[in-house]
Amino acid sequence: MIDEKYQKLIHILEEMKNVIVAFSGGVDSTFLLKVAVDVLGSENVLAVTADSETYPSSELKAAKQLASWIGAQHQVIETSELSIPGYAENDRNRCYFCKASLFEELIPIMEAKGFKNVVYGLIADDMSEHRPGVRAAKEKGVRGPLQEAELYKEEIRELSKSMNLSTWNKPSFACLSSRIAYGERITAEKLTKVDKSEAYIKSFGIRQVRVRTHGDIARIEVEPQDMAKMLIYNSEIVNALKKFGYQYISLDLAGYKSGSMNQVLV
């Protein structure tokens, strides 16, 4: 089944002939970029990474290294989600404003370079989640070849491993705004606070972490196997996060869950 899906992906890309890839350096966009370069050739593929306040600071360097390893053309653009009308208010459609703005940046690049398609790392798993960005993609004519090929995250990880992509077991990540409770205004200061906090916690060897922000409360999510480590270093973590601006620091006993902020939308 996975081989059939992979062949379907190849066929989709072949029909496109050339693509601009919205490239974050995560598991999905890295796999998409690698297959696109393999199928279409580097001259017919351009990876574009949007560097902004919501993009974790550690990810840009990694994205550049990955694009270079793959042999892809790579362009970094500067964007600011906080300047998008409606974004900072942080309602349930926040991701729509973000993706619509991103695609509005990518389409002129596509036209200037003589390309015909913009693609992004939408996957089959995403169709069962709250994803306002999917609507933005449809409105802008942007496609998700991985989703069209019905590829799921675990299948993408398996294929990535077979291609020797270092991202095959990379923890999932999302923009920093996803850490801030819906309805709470997003600011550059809050995003920096989240970024510093997560980087600090990862320095203890914790693989996956989210510092969910509810006002001045940090609700930390880690994988169950890392909870004991959190308790070992609790004093250091509490002191650091208070310096970063949180007043109360908590560990969520339910553990890490992708998109946990969306539970209030159900």
Same domain, 202 and 109: no
The catalytic position among 124, 159, 175, 241 is 175
What's the structural domain count of the chain? 2
**Assigned domain for 168 exists:** no
Q: Which CATH number fits the domain that encloses residue 210? A: 3.30.300
Q: In the annotation, is 175 catalytic? A: yes
List the domain range (segments joined by +) for residue 231. 176-262
154 and 182 belong to one structural domain: no
> 111 and 19, same structural domain?
yes
Q: Are residues 157 and 181 in the same domain?
A: no
Q: Take residue 91 and report the two structure tokens written for it.
A: 């309602």
- 151 plus 36 within the same structural domain: yes
- 122 and 185 housed in the same domain: no
CATH number of the domain at 77, please. 3.40.50.620
pLDDT in tens, the chain (266 residues): 899 999 999 999 999 999 999 999 999 999 999 999 999 999 999 999 999 888 887 788 999 999 999 999 999 999 998 998 888 999 888 888 889 999 999 999 999 999 999 999 999 988 876 778 889 899 999 999 999 999 999 999 999 999 999 999 998 888 899 999 999 999 999 999 999 999 999 999 999 999 999 999 999 999 999 999 999 999 999 999 999 999 999 999 999 987 666 665 54
- Judge whether 178 and 54 are in contact, CB under 8 Å: no
Tell me, yes or no, whether 157 and 180 share the same domain.
no
Query: 118 with 187, same domain?
Result: no
Q: What single string gives the DSSP state of each residue in 144-176?
A: -HHHHTT--HHHHHHHHHHTT-GGGGPPP---G
Residues 155 and 181 in one domain: no
